[in-house]
Structure 1
Amino acid sequence: MNDYTFSRWMANTPGIDSMTLNELILPGAHNAGVDKKATYVTPGVSHWAACQNNSFYDQLNNGARALDVRVEYNLDARGVGTFWFQHNGFRSSRSLENLVMQVSRFLQENPDEFVLLDFHELKSAQAPFDYKEFNRFLLTHLDQRIIPFGNRYMNLGQLKRDSRTQRVWIAAEYHPDLDQHWLLSSIQHEWSGESLTSVEEVRALIARVTQNPPSSRVPWSLSATSYTAPGGPTDIKEHLDLWFDPAPDSWILKCSIINADFFEESKLVSNCRTANIIKAQALNK
């Protein structure tokens, strides 16, 4: 149970090879593109904007396997378009190029890990969002890494046998300029619906959603995050450890993606790994 490293926790857990994407319980990095080490277009906003401690590469090495990202398309004074990551309009220095390079580096070092890129929001600062360029960029630079839509119900073992490189699922909203052969449908997010959410409200949300979870045929995301006006994203690691302790009949066994801020400060990755082992054993009975 304890013989694993965070960077290779999936490869170090062969018992979960019988599970498909929709059956997995994935630790997620909420607003993965806005972290404390990034810089921001608007000075002094990192306190309210940053939801993670470190870059994409560090998030993956620390065990996150679902990256929740929100993209903003921006044209500079020369008319050159760039895809940046943002949180509530606060744009960070992390770009789509950063994400692709760091995911590729991580998978080169850890070839049997799987990553879900959840493009939860695609918006534009001024000119219309360039879906064609977004599609071209992803398919060109992730190339052999992307798992095609038709393989979404393969289990991890089958995916490994089918390809030595296809380890990335990509999910985004539907648009005719996005190639549906390579993209999953947008991930359903369960959240409080309020920009300011107390710990008590987060707990009530988790209890309500897990009592009647969304369809298990597709992955969905549970936002286990708290946000306050004076403090911004709140570190609730003690609560995450309690709420998602993988005991029998616990909430975590009914989850798909658990989206958390500053996730590596909690036991979320370890608890998800244990929950996947428990679930795999139950499914294989």
Structure 2
Amino acid sequence: MHDLFKSQPTVKLNEIVIPGTHDSATDEMTKHSPYATFNKLHRVNQQLVCLWAKTQHHTIYDQLMDGVRYLDLRIENHADGWKTFHGLLSNNLTDVLDQIGVFATNHNREIILVDLQNLVNFDFQDHVNLTEYIIKHPSIGLRMAGNHFGADGTLLDFWNADKNIIFFYTEGYRHFSHLYWLRHTSIENPWYNTPKKSVLQEKLLSGICKRKPGYFHVSQLVLTPDAFKVVTGLLTKVSSLYSLTIPGITDLISSEFLQSLELKATQANTHLNIVIVDFYEHSSFIENCLKINADMVVSRNGLA
């Protein structure tokens, strides 16, 4: 981020393409992982659930090192501590935070967006405990950028303040600290909930044109299996989210489609912003995102 935009530091954070991952902390999920609370699939064999719930193979730290800058975390307050989840429980949140903190400290001009978008089994005191834990974390608290920066804050704003972690928090609890960004007034994250590539493509192209000014916007390049797909997958080669995603999403994470999303956005006087995928490492997804940013820098330098 810094190397790419050092000649254009006044670009706004919600105007650049930010590579992200969907259900980022599922790398430790296995067929033996416990069911998450309120999982509608609790009567389904855990091995089958794991095949369709695991969305990432790499650790959070490795994702950040590879160029991921937006993390999507779902957290359950479990008897054994805070756990990330997606159908099944997965990582210890404390480990995830440690990895974020190490990267953010060692790469202080790389801005990381952490979206805590689903918190389960939390009462008021649990929210207090979590928010205070994050703020007091030795390698995170001092790096947190307060919500006063706004989504249209520039990279230079963050760099000058030496802040590079944004935490989005669930509705109603931001008042614990100005260091948390209230999700419903800061970020749009539409979920199109379809297993069909053509439908997803159409909705992504139309959705990017409807961005709210002053917000971050997430484009989910994610295919979502329905019950029919899961059941019939037992009899076909499409027997997991991985086997649905890798061949099915290739066209959508291509440089050509991402460029078409950016073109569609600019025609509506906006920009492509956060883009998330499953199994990011099996494509040139991050490189394709960065290419759009590089083209933006070249264009702006040409106008300077």
TM-score bracket for the superposition, by shorter chain length: 0.7 to 0.9
Aligned to 1:267: 284
Taking the TM superposition and a 5 Å limit, the aligned residue runs for 1:115-154 are 115-124=112-121, 128=123, 130-141=126-137, 142-152=140-150, 153-154=152-153
How many residues matched? 261
- Whole-Å separation in 2 of the counterparts to 1:207 and 1:252: 8
For the 8 Å contact 2:195–2:224, the answer to whether it is kept is yes
SS in 2 for 1:118: strand
Equivalent position SS for 1:147: coil
Give the distance between the partners of 2:69 and 2:168, measured in 1 at CA.
Answer: 13
Structure 2 runs not aligned, ≥5 long: 36-45, 234-239
**1:226 is matched with which residue: 223, 227, 234?**
223
Report which of the two has the higher share of helix.
Answer: 2
Q: Give the Cα separation in 2 of the matches to 1:50 and 1:205.
A: 24
SS of 1:161's equivalent in the other structure is helix
Q: Report what 2:66 is aligned to.
A: 62
1:75 corresponding residue in structure 2: 79
Unaligned runs of 5+ in 1: 1-9, 77-81
Please, which moves more after superposition, 132-141 or 270-279? 270-279
SS in 2 for 1:190: coil
1:283 CA displacement: 6.2
CA–CA distance in 1 between the matches of 2:108 and 2:53?
32
Secondary structure of 1:67 counterpart: strand
Specify the structure having the higher radius of gyration (Cα). 2
When the two structures are superposed, what TM-score results if normalisation uses the length of structure 2? 0.77
* 1:117/1:169 contact within 8 Å kept: yes
Deviations 1:146-174 (A, max 9, x none): 011112343112321222xx210111222
Equivalent residue number for residue 20 of structure 2: 28
Tell me what 1:279 maps to: 296
- CA gap of 1:154–1:17, structure 2 versus 1, over 3 A, is same
Could you tell which deviates more after superposition, 64-73 or 107-116? Answer: 107-116
**1:216–1:272: structure 2 CA closer, same or farther, 3 Å change rule?**
farther
Which residue among 4, 11, 14 is the counterpart of 2:2?
11
Question: Relative to structure 1, is the Cα distance of residues 255 and 249 closer, same or farther in structure 2, using a 3 angstrom cutoff?
Answer: closer
Query: Deviation of residue 249 (structure 1)?
Result: 5.7
Q: Retained in 2: the 8 A contact 1:224–1:259?
A: yes
Q: Does 1:167 align with 2:188?
A: no
Asked whether 1:52 is paired with 2:53, we answer no
Q: State whether residues 244 and 268 of structure 1, in contact with CA within 8 Å, keep that contact through their aligned partners in structure 2.
A: no
TM-score normalized by the length of structure 1: 0.82
177-186 or 219-228, which moves further after superposition? 177-186
CA contact (8 A) 2:262 2:272 kept: no
CA–CA distance in 2 between the matches of 1:159 and 1:128?
Answer: 32
Judging changes above 3 Å, is the alpha-carbon distance between structure 1 residues 248 and 189 closer, same or farther for their aligned structure 2 residues?
closer
* Deviation of 1:203 (Å): 1.1
In 2 relative to 1, CA 251–26 (structure 1 residues): closer, same or farther, beyond 3 Å?
Answer: farther
Q: Secondary structure at the match of 1:18?
A: coil
- 2:284 maps to a residue whose letter is K
Q: Could you list the per-position Cα deviations for residues 168-204 of structure 1 after superposition, in whole angstroms to 9, with x for gaps in the alignment?
A: 0111222247534111121321121x3x522222112
